């Protein structure tokens, strides 16, 4: 991942140093399990546990042998004595690689879960702050009816509750140990080795595998990351629309010395939201690759390996960056409730047509007749830019079905927020 979209904490977790440190952790877990099995003494294990390596040695050896795990074991062997014969005993490379990857993902997932929690905290704060702030709701991009600006954030919070659960499930399925050998039969090892090593490493056991863990696990995991990214894009697209000059209800925070355009000094663009939109596209692209990694030849091939080296690091690094960046953007979002009011008034009251329709139906007018009359008056108000309320009050055919004391309330934006508390209770009570 390019540094522009990467936090240092993720860079460190996906570094070569971290990878080989984790390889060593897995190898020593297996060594511990063999000691417990009685293959060799505690004294031998203690010598093995002092193993180390130099990253430079691994790189130099790999240039010669063209195999990173063999290069790793040879480099570690340089730091051991006679006991090195037991290092990597009865393991195949993927026992180490898949298990180490599971351990790294376990750490990565905790960071992403923390990011999700922080992002949800921002959504909740914004939803509470603007709970009773009226704004126009839009369907098909057209003014529809009044809603609450805070409800947008409440809905996104509910979305994130589902997505967090899905991510946790997927994360759990990629955090497993695999130590069943060359084709998954434990033929050169013993099932007890995986069991003891799993406990040692704090991982769940794989029930069955070939030489590799099944890649549907990782496909589901990447899929959930892409869904998280698409949710962020969903929010970002809304913010971008509301930031347009002719809408003007929100704007991203803009620094004193920040510039929006090299040519136009007046520009103030929703660049963070556009950034999130673009990065979400990248995440969805990784889903295809992860699904194509599922079918491998027989008990394994390595067609998935090169792709995973890219997509697992990049997908997790991107979603971490996106969650952190957009939480900050939304927490600093500049909101203009006065402009929201002006936009509610933009249709001269026509957006209250459904309220009027329901009112006259309740007072005895046939629904189809009422709809036709009110539609005609609403279209007239929009086209002639005149008061819809005045047209309703002047319409002779409606007078027997209108109660003036109730009509004015229909044209008050706050009337349309009467059930907001119920919706908030549904979202935030659990």
pLDDT bucket at 281, cuts 50 / 70 / 90: very high
Domain match, 124 and 166 both? yes
Cβ atoms 217, 296 nearer than 8 A: no
pLDDT above 80: residue 290: yes
Pair 336, 358 in one domain: no
Beta bridge partners of 134: 148
Check whether residue 168 and residue 98 sit in a common domain. yes
Backbone angles phi, psi at 136, to 5 degrees: -80, 135
Are 399 and 271 contained in the same domain?
no
User: Can you give the CATH number for the domain in which 280 is found?
Assistant: 1.20.200.10
Same domain for 303 and 387, yes or no, is: no
Considering the domain architecture, whether residues 397 and 355 belong to the same structural domain is answered as yes
- pLDDT value for 12: 97
Any domain includes 391: yes
Q: Are residue 308 and residue 223 in the same domain, yes or no?
A: yes
Q: Which of 261, 303, 306, 397 is catalytic?
A: 261
Place of tokens 């009570």: 429
- Comparing CA positions, the residue from 155, 167, 152 lying closest to residue 117 is 167
261 included as an active-site residue: yes
Segment 362-397, tens digit of pLDDT: 999 999 999 999 999 999 999 999 999 999 999 999
Q: Can you give the pLDDT at residue 67?
A: 95
Closest among 95, 100, 63, 56 to 78, alpha carbons compared = 56
CATH code, domain with 356: 1.10.40.30
Residues 218 and 156 in one domain: yes
The mean per-residue pLDDT over the stretch 250-264 comes to 81
Residue 378 lies in a domain: yes
Task: Judge whether residue 412 has pLDDT over 70.
Answer: yes
31 is annotated as an active-site residue: no
Per the domain annotation, does 269 fall within a domain? yes
**Which residues on neighbouring strands pair with residue 250, listed in sequence order?**
335
Q: Does residue 354 share a domain with residue 336?
A: no
**Two structure tokens written together for 79:** 């730091």
First to last CA, the chain: 37
Buried b (16+ CB within 10 A) or exposed e, 245-256: eebebbbbeeee
Helices (H), 130-215: 149-173, 191-201
Q: By residue range, what is the domain housing residue 158? A: 91-254+265-340
pLDDT at 268: 86
Last-in-domain residue among 309, 340, 371: 340
pLDDT of the residue at 430: 65
Model pLDDT for residues 94-120, shown as the tens digit of each residue: 999 999 999 999 999 999 999 999 999
Write down which residue in 318, 340, 362 finishes a domain: 340
How many structural domains are present in the chain? Answer: 2
Q: At 407, list the tokens.
A: 């009509």
426 domain residue, yes or no:
no
Would residue 65 count as lying in a domain?
no
What is the tens place of the pLDDT at every residue in 57-80? 999 999 999 999 999 999 999 999
Chain mean position to CA 300: 31
In a domain, 179, yes or no: yes
3-class state of residue 203 by DSSP: coil
Indicate the residue among 340, 368, 387 that finishes a domain.
340
Q: Position of tokens 């990214």?
A: 229
Radius of gyration of the chain from its Cα atoms, rounded to whole angstroms: 30
Supply the pLDDT for residue 38. Answer: 96
Residues 362 and 321 placed together within one structural domain of the fold: no
Q: Is residue 238 part of a domain?
A: yes
156 assigned to some structural domain? yes
The reply to whether 383 and 283 lie within a common domain is no
Q: Where are the alpha helices (DSSP H) in 174-269?
A: 191-201, 216-243
Judge if 150 and 224 occupy the same domain: yes
What average pLDDT does this structure show over 170-197?
96
Q: For 314-351, write each residue's pLDDT tens digit.
A: 999 999 999 999 999 999 999 999 999 999 999 999 99
Residue percentage of the chain with pLDDT more than 70: 100
Its pTM stands at: 0.95
Mean residue pLDDT of the chain comes to: 96
């Amino acid at each position: 991942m390019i540094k522009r979209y990467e936090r240092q904490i993720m860079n460190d977790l996906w570094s070569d140093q971290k990878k080989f440190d984790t390889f060593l952790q897995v190898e020593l877990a297996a060594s511990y399990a063999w000691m417990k099995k009685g293959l060799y003494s505690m004294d031998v294990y203690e010598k093995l546990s002092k193993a180390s390596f130099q990253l430079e040695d691994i790189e130099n050896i790999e240039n010669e042998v063209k195999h990173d795990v063999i290069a790793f074991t040879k480099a570690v062997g340089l730091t051991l004595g006679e006991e090195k014969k037991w290092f990597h005993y009865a393991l195949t490379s993927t026992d180490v690689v898949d298990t180490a990857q599971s351990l790294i993902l376990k750490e990565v997932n905790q960071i992403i879960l923390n990011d999700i929690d922080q992002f949800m905290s921002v959504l909740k704060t914004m939803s509470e702050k603007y709970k009773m702030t009226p704004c126009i709701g839009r369907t098909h991009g057209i003014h529809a009816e009044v809603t609450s600006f805070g409800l947008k954030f409440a809905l996104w919070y509910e979305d994130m509750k589902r997505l967090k659960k899905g991510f946790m499930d997927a994360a759990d399925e990629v955090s497993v140990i695999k130590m069943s050998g060359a084709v998954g039969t434990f033929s050169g090892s013993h099932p007890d080795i995986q069991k003891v090593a799993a406990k040692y490493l704090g991982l769940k056991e794989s029930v069955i595998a070939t030489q590799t863990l099944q890649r549907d696990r990782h496909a589901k995991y990447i899929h959930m990351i892409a869904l998280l990214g698409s949710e962020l894009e969903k929010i970002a697209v809304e913010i971008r629309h509301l930031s347009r000059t002719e809408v003007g209800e929100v704007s991203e925070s803009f620094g004193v010395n920040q510039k929006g355009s090299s040519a136009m000094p007046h520009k103030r663009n929703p660049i963070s939201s556009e950034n999130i939109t673009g990065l979400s596209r990248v995440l969805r692209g990784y889903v295809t690759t992860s699904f194509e990694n599922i079918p491998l030849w027989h008990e394994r091939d390595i067609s998935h390996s090169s792709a995973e080296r890219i997509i697992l690091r990049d997908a997790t690094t991107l979603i971490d960056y996106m969650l952190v960046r957009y939480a900050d953007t939304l927490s600093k979002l500049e909101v203009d409730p006065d402009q929201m009011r002006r936009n509610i008034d933009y249709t001269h009251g026509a957006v209250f047509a459904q309220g009027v329709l329901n009112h006259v139906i309740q007072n005895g007018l046939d629904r189809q007749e009422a709809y036709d009359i009110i539609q005609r008056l609403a279209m007239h108000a929009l086209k002639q830019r005149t008061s819809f309320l005045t047209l309703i009050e002047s319409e002779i055919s409606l007078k027997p079905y209108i109660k003036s004391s109730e009509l004015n309330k229909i044209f008050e934006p706050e009337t349309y927020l009467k059930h907001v508390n119920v919706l908030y209770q549904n979202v935030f009570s659990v």
